[in-house]
Chain A
Amino acid sequence: MDASIKVACSSTSWIFLSYSDERRHLLDIVFATLVLLKRGVDISNIYIFSSDPNAAGILSGLDNSNVYKLDQFDSVLASISYTHAFVTITGHGSPNGVGQNMRSADLSKGVRSIQNLEIGVLALCQCFAGVFNFSEAYSDPKLVVMGATNLSLSISSTVSVSTGIPGVDPLTWCSNLFMMHFFDWMRQPIDIDGDGHLTVLDAYKYAGAFAHDRVSKAKSEVFVEIQDLSAKLTQQRAHKATLEQAGLETLAVELDISSILTLMDNKLSVLHTSQEPWLLNANLSRKVELIL
């Protein structure tokens, strides 16, 4: 192996960004934060940016004063100083990037604005992460950029995690699978490629392979669940028609119908999407050794 670049996780800045109003994406960040705290990272080195107006309230249990609105991303990053930064994006992505105006070049510029930065690692876990691929990662400060998926959907699936921590045990949520497995590797790192070093490349391979494995195993079960949901949808639509004919209130059944459709939408993405991760600046990722 080439000379390794040792990155002490405890003194790295851990930056999370989520463009979403769904609590599940904040729970992706909660899980990652619990892992990092367990690995000795101080909460003051963890920065969270979210578009969710309720993020501060929902995350209040973390006792983290670094919870910001999404539009503060550039200004906060330009004001901090770290030699190493690890940026993870969850929430919703689109073919246009993340949020209203964050495209690949904007993200790279924002991360590179961190004072004294030497290496930045970016893990893009949102849908359409591939629009951030082939970005300019080789000039200083160098970037390792990875995506959970290419030009398609990123898959989340429900998991329940035993944390042993009062108030969040178990932690159950529809988890971004690549991100969850990435931080699972951080919790218990494995030298996947057998080179004797625990590197970002190991974490990438672990997250990509285990996320895909989980999705593959879930497909047959999800197929059956979709049949059940389809039958319930037919039933509830008929029920709604009956209530309307009788001039009765339909609020509850309308909620049920929209909930069934939302569940079906989520499960169909698990059934029909194949998630293939990618990695930019792979040689550098093989050199970046994480000191946990």
Chain B
Amino acid sequence: MITMPAEGMPELSMEVKRLVVDGVYSLFQIDNDSHSYMLVTGDRSKSYTISESGSVVSVSQPAQNVYPGAAHLVTFKLDNIHSMNFNFS
């Protein structure tokens, strides 16, 4: 999983980033093109192609079924999230 700082993809709103972090939306790095990303909504009704800066390039309705980049998930490191101290190590 790729973790970006909160400031990553500056044109993507904080609400979208929060839903990505929550795991409601999925953000994948598109294979063979590290400058493009795919954002899939939780109900799979839409998917958006997102640029490296976070701007919305295009939308597809509904989202396709399987994404080759599903193993290349992206998330953000946001503040103000309730932390729990689990120690697995």
Query: Which positions in A face B, CB cutoff 8 Å?
Result: 21-27, 34-35, 38, 53-54, 57-58, 60-61, 157-165, 167-168, 170, 172-174, 184, 187, 214, 218, 229, 232, 251-252, 255-256, 258-260, 262-263, 266
Of A54, A58, A158, A259, which contacts B13 at CB under 8 A? Answer: A259
Q: Chain A contacts of B86 at CB under 8 A?
A: 161-163, 184, 187
Are A164 and B24 in contact, CB atoms less than 8 angstroms apart?
Answer: no
Q: Chain A contacts of B83 at CB under 8 A?
A: 159-162, 170
Interface residues on B, range: 35 or more
Are A23 and B23 in contact, CB atoms less than 8 angstroms apart?
Answer: yes
In the complex, besides A22-B23, A158-B21, A187-B88, 19 extra interface pairs with C-beta distance below 8 angstroms are A22-B26, A23-B26, A53-B66, A61-B1, A159-B83, A160-B81, A160-B82, A161-B86, A163-B86, A163-B89, A164-B88, A174-B23, A187-B86, A252-B11, A255-B48, A256-B13, A256-B16, A262-B19, A262-B41
* B33 in contact (CB, < 8 A): no
Are A263 and B19 in contact, CB atoms less than 8 angstroms apart?
Answer: yes
CA distance A173 to B19 in the complex (A): 9
Are B67 and A158 in contact, CB atoms less than 8 angstroms apart?
Answer: no
Are A54 and B70 in contact, CB atoms less than 8 angstroms apart?
Answer: yes
Q: Chain B contacts of A256 at CB under 8 A?
A: 13, 15-16
Q: Chain A contacts of B15 at CB under 8 A?
A: 229, 232, 256, 259-260, 263
Number of A-B contacts (CB under 8 A): 121
Going nearest first, the 5 A-B pairs with the smallest beta carbon separation are A24-B23, A57-B70, A164-B89, A174-B22, A54-B70
- The 8 A CB mask of B37-77 against A (1 = contact, 0 = none) is 00101111000100000011011000001111011010100
Taking the closest CB of chain B, its distance from the CB of A220, in whole angstroms, is 13
The chain B residue with its CB closest to the CB of A26 is: B23
Are B82 and A158 in contact, CB atoms less than 8 angstroms apart?
Answer: yes
The chain A residue with its CB closest to the CB of B21 is: A172
Q: Which of B21, B56, B68, B84: most chain A CB closer than 10 A?
A: B84
Q: Chain B contacts of A54 at CB under 8 A?
A: 26, 66-67, 70
Are B21 and A34 in contact, CB atoms less than 8 angstroms apart?
Answer: no
Taking the closest CB of chain A, its distance from the CB of B57, in whole angstroms, is 9
Taking the closest CB of chain B, its distance from the CB of A149, in whole angstroms, is 19
CA distance A174 to B18 in the complex (A): 10
* B85 in contact (CB, < 8 A): yes
Are A173 and B16 in contact, CB atoms less than 8 angstroms apart?
Answer: no
* B32 in contact (CB, < 8 A): no
Q: Chain A contacts of B26 at CB under 8 A?
A: 22-23, 54, 58
Q: Chain A contacts of B16 at CB under 8 A?
A: 255-256, 259
